[in-house]
Amino acid sequence: MDFAVPEPIQATLNEIREFLDAHVLPVEALFRDHEMPPVEAAMREVRAKAKARGLWLPQLSKRHGGMGLSLLEHGLVSEVLGRSPLGNWALNCQAPDAGNMEILAEYGTREQRERFLDPLIAGDTRSCFAMTEPDKAGSNPVWLGTAARREGDELVLDGHKWFTSGADGAAFAIVMAVTEPEGPPHKRASMIIVPTDTPGYTLVRNISVMGDVGGGWASHAEVRFEGCRVPAANMLGFPGAGFLIAQARLGPGRIHHCMRWLGICERAFDMMCQRAATRELAPGKFLGEKQTIQNWIAESRVEIDSARLAVLHAAWRIDAVGQKAARVEVSGIKFHVAKVLRNVLERSIQTHGALGITDDTVLSFFYRHERGAQIYDGADEVHKTVVARELLERYGLNLRSRGTK
């Protein structure tokens, strides 16, 4: 296993890093003011520059206008982009649009791709993904209340979703809804494209996350579907294929998430070290002289480096043996990197003192919105159970056959 970065992708990483420093980081001050219209206006110019330089769609193949990167290469790009909350948006690879693009490119019909995918690829529209429900445990994704029934050539949706990221201003939602109620648990739900101007679709509110309501792409919404009718042709794949489609991108998606989190860690680490090296506690006495701060710096460096190797190993395993065979590594990095992220952010904020909890730096944004890393995309506890179950089975204890959850 060789983790050496080939020269061509290293050159791309350097170019992206320079692009972020020159064009994206200056917009962060507007972003921290919580007013999205000026941010969106500034980012339209930034995104146009990124597109003109070919720094566009790292998650897609060249056939679809993307950069044609491998899983590992895209992971390395995600780490660089993670240094800024606006990094992924700048290159049009922000969640949930990136995943929706991959789904549409792989499973969409020609008509679906022309109507919904092409504008996403161009950066002219945004989308959202509606799965989580407020009255159902997110740790049990097969337990969905939202349903879609067939009436002639239409599907009629009824249901209630929340934490539908980016719904504010989105052109359409990809909705997980039960269409085959009599089927086995993982074959009951389908993915359905719902334009947000469809009667019966309502964006109830943007949900406040630790006091930040957000707006536009940087928001999480509560939405309702009440007698919402769309053409049956808006279903992705075949009836009951919702989880099959979701699983196809879940492992690679976690690689991207974890590498982005490591990019956040690197940004927070740099800020912590800079603060420790320059903050005077008294004339000539620097914060970095304190052993506690030195311990935090040392622990953070080692944790970030070890987590990064774990993610690269998981990516290598996916490429070598496939996503299913690499499920221990994929679940392992999800909860491990999320914990490292929280550790490093906590230390960096504490090192900054009162400044760390203000919006004068990017740390408070990262803390508010990335604390959920231990909850979304499968709570840490669920992933730990997956890892333990798989490992114990190798020693002869099959918890699934015993009905143990």
In terms of Cα–Cα distance, which of 16, 86, 94, 80 is closest to 50? Answer: 16
Instruction: State yes or no: pLDDT of 84 exceeds 60.
Output: yes
C-beta separation of 335 from 382 below 8 A = no
C-beta separation of 356 from 344 below 8 A = no
Query: How far is it, in rounded angstroms, from Cα 88 to Cα 168?
Result: 18
For residue 1, the model assigns a pLDDT of: 52
Query: How far is it, in rounded angstroms, from Cα 248 to Cα 102?
Result: 10
CA angle in degrees (0–180, nearest 5) for 26-39-33: 80
Asked if 360 and 274 sit in the same domain, the reply is yes
Residue 1, token pair as written in the block: 């296993």
Q: Domain count of the chain?
A: 3
CB contact burial 65-98 (16+ within 10 A = b; e otherwise):
bbbebebbbbbbbbbbbbbbbbbbbbbbbbbbbb
For residue 137, the model assigns a pLDDT of: 85
C-beta separation of 90 from 78 below 8 A = no
Would you give the distance in Å from CA 298 to the centre of its chain?
28
Asked if 180 and 312 sit in the same domain, the reply is no
For the ranges 197-211, 293-307, 310-324, the lowest mean pLDDT is seen at 310-324
Percent of the chain clearing pLDDT 90 (strictly above): 85
Instruction: State yes or no: pLDDT of 310 exceeds 90.
Output: yes
Binning pLDDT at 50, 70 and 90, where does residue 71 land? confident
Say which CATH number the domain at 77 has: 1.10.540.10
Asked if 274 and 340 sit in the same domain, the reply is yes
Q: What φ, ψ does residue 176 adopt, rounded to 5°? A: -90, 120
Asked if 212 and 304 sit in the same domain, the reply is no
Asked if 380 and 252 sit in the same domain, the reply is yes
| Strand 285-286 versus strand 154-165 pairing type | unpaired
In a domain, 120, yes or no: no
CA angle in degrees (0–180, nearest 5) for 11-12-14: 65
Asked if 226 and 249 sit in the same domain, the reply is no
For residue 404, the model assigns a pLDDT of: 60
In a domain, 264, yes or no: yes
For residue 220, the model assigns a pLDDT of: 96
The burial of 326, by beta-carbon neighbours within 10 Å (0-12 exposed, 13-18 middle, 19 or more buried), is given as buried
Asked if 226 and 253 sit in the same domain, the reply is no
Instruction: State yes or no: pLDDT of 307 exceeds 90.
Output: yes
Expressed as residue numbers, the domain containing 152 is 127-236
Summary count for the chain: helices (H), strands (E): 13, 10
Asked if 298 and 335 sit in the same domain, the reply is yes
In a domain, 404, yes or no: no
Instruction: State yes or no: pLDDT of 2 exceeds 60.
Output: no
Q: What is the mean pLDDT of residues 47-61?
A: 96
Query: How far is it, in rounded angstroms, from Cα 71 to Cα 252?
Result: 7
Instruction: State yes or no: pLDDT of 173 exceeds 80.
Output: yes
For residue 402, the model assigns a pLDDT of: 67
In a domain, 117, yes or no: no
Query: How far is it, in rounded angstroms, from Cα 394 to Cα 405?
Result: 17
Instruction: State yes or no: pLDDT of 251 exceeds 80.
Output: no
Q: What is the mean pLDDT of residues 373-391?
A: 92
Q: What φ, ψ does residue 108 adopt, rounded to 5°? A: -75, 150
In terms of Cα–Cα distance, which of 17, 3, 8 is closest to 79? Answer: 17
C-beta separation of 369 from 347 below 8 A = no
Question: For the chain, how big is the Rg over CA atoms in Å?
Answer: 22
What is the torsional sign of CA 330, 340, 384, 309?
positive
- Residue 232 DSSP one-character state: G
- Taking the alpha carbons at both ends of the chain, their separation in whole angstroms is 34
For residue 97, the model assigns a pLDDT of: 96
pLDDT tens for each residue of 225-250: 999 999 999 999 999 999 999 887 77
**Helix axes of 291-321 and 327-352: crossing angle, nearest 10 degrees:** 160
C-beta separation of 39 from 85 below 8 A = no
Q: Which helix (H) or strand (E) holds 103?
A: helix 97-107
* Per-chain mean pLDDT for the chain: 94
Task: Give CA separation, 190 vs 115, 130, 242, 254, in Å.
Answer: 20, 12, 4, 22
For residue 247, the model assigns a pLDDT of: 82
For residue 403, the model assigns a pLDDT of: 65
For residue 399, the model assigns a pLDDT of: 85
Q: What is the mean pLDDT of residues 269-290?
A: 98
For residue 35, the model assigns a pLDDT of: 81
Say which CATH number the domain at 159 has: 2.40.110.10
Asked if 25 and 78 sit in the same domain, the reply is yes
pLDDT tens for each residue of 85-144: 999 999 999 999 999 999 999 999 999 999 999 999 999 999 999 999 999 988 788 899
C-beta separation of 212 from 186 below 8 A = no
In a domain, 213, yes or no: yes
Q: Which residues pair with 212 in a beta bridge?
A: 209
In a domain, 73, yes or no: yes
For residue 295, the model assigns a pLDDT of: 98
Q: Which helix (H) or strand (E) holds 278?
A: helix 242-278
Q: What is the mean pLDDT of residues 42-66?
A: 96
Q: Which residues pair with 158 in a beta bridge?
A: 147, 226
| Strand 127-130 versus strand 172-178 pairing type | parallel
Domain boundary among 218, 236, 254: 236
Asked if 254 and 390 sit in the same domain, the reply is yes
Binning pLDDT at 50, 70 and 90, where does residue 260 land? very high
Residue 35, token pair as written in the block: 């007013």
The burial of 197, by beta-carbon neighbours within 10 Å (0-12 exposed, 13-18 middle, 19 or more buried), is given as exposed
Binning pLDDT at 50, 70 and 90, where does residue 32 land? confident
